């Protein structure tokens, strides 16, 4: 699926990026050289399973290079209009630069070749930019339950307590922290940096509030569940 992000400043199209969610190569433009901050061993994630012998560069950093470079001199509170075009619909939001970068980087990271972040790949086909915490928890929890349905169908033991999802987000938090260090080195202004600060905070908050938020949703979804006879 092709998703296009257009960033407007003062009514003019300033930046434009196209993301192929099913790409098999990096998002580097033809002839574009990888920057030093994309090298795998540069602030390498502590939980990265890749080896620099086989992967010279971090897959996620390579894919974020263009966005990071374009926004390197943009301040975080710069007013901006973001237009997100998908095959089925279009989203528009008046926001600041850091939230715009946060939205597009989330999609780029989930569809990158990173063996950890790419576990979000299935959710990318149902991309929802600028999701609230409640929406993020709903999407993460429902996606995880679908994956556990397939575990059940294949004869495995499904995880309905979300232990695996909580552990996964703990891994994501480590990746986000390391990627923030890379972006810090690549930026002279703070839009991209603060986007990662928000991303790290959001994923950490989601991890802490998962059970609480799901409990708050109980009443809404209890109406959907079929009544089970006790006889």
pTM over 0.85: yes
Confidence of residue 103 (pLDDT cuts 50, 70, 90): very high
Please give the share of the chain, as a percent, with pLDDT higher than 70: 97
User: Residues 210-229: pLDDT tens digits?
Assistant: 888 888 888 888 877 666 55
CA distance 141 to 215: 12
Contacts of residue 8, defined as CB under 8 A and 6 or more positions apart, other chains included, come to 14, 80, 81, 82, 83
Q: Is the pLDDT of residue 182 over 60?
A: yes
Q: Kindly state the DSSP code that residue 58 receives in the 8-state scheme.
A: -
Q: What is the pLDDT of residue 109?
A: 93
Q: Residue 231: what pLDDT? A: 52
Residue 230: its pLDDT value, please? 53
pLDDT value at position 202?
78
Q: What is the mean pLDDT of the chain?
A: 89
What mean pLDDT is predicted for residues 196-201?
A: 74
- How many CB atoms are closer than 10 A to CB 3? 21
Segment 126-168, tens digit of pLDDT? 999 999 888 988 999 999 999 999 999 999 999 999 999 999 9
Domain edges within the chain: 2-222
């Amino acid at each position: 699926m092709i998703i296009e992000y257009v960033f407007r400043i003062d009514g003019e199209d300033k930046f434009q990026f196209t993301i192929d969610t099913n790409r098999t190569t990096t998002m580097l433009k033809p002839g574009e050289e990888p920057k030093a901050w994309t090298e795998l061993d540069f602030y390498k994630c502590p939980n990265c399973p890749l080896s620099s012998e086989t992967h010279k560069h971090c897959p996620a950093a390579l894919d974020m290079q263009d966005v990071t470079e374009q926004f390197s001199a943009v301040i975080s509170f710069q007013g901006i209009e973001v237009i997100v075009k998908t095959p089925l619909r279009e989203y528009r939001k008046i926001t600041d630069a850091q939230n715009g970068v946060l939205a597009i980087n989330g999609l780029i990271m989930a569809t990158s070749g990173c063996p950890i972040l790419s576990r979000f790949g299935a959710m990318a086909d149902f991309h929802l930019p600028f999701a609230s915490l409640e929406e993020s928890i709903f999407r993460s929890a429902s996606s995880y339950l679908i994956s556990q349905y397939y575990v059940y169908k294949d004869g495995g033991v499904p995880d309905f307590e979300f232990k695996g999802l909580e552990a996964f987000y703990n891994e994501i938090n480590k990746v986000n922290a390391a990627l923030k260090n890379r972006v810090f080195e690549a930026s002279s202004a703070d839009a991209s940096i603060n986007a990662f600060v928000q991303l790290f905070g959001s994923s950490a908050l989601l991890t802490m509030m998962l059970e609480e938020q799901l409990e708050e949703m109980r009443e809404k979804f209890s109406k959907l569940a079929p009544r089970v006879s006790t006889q």
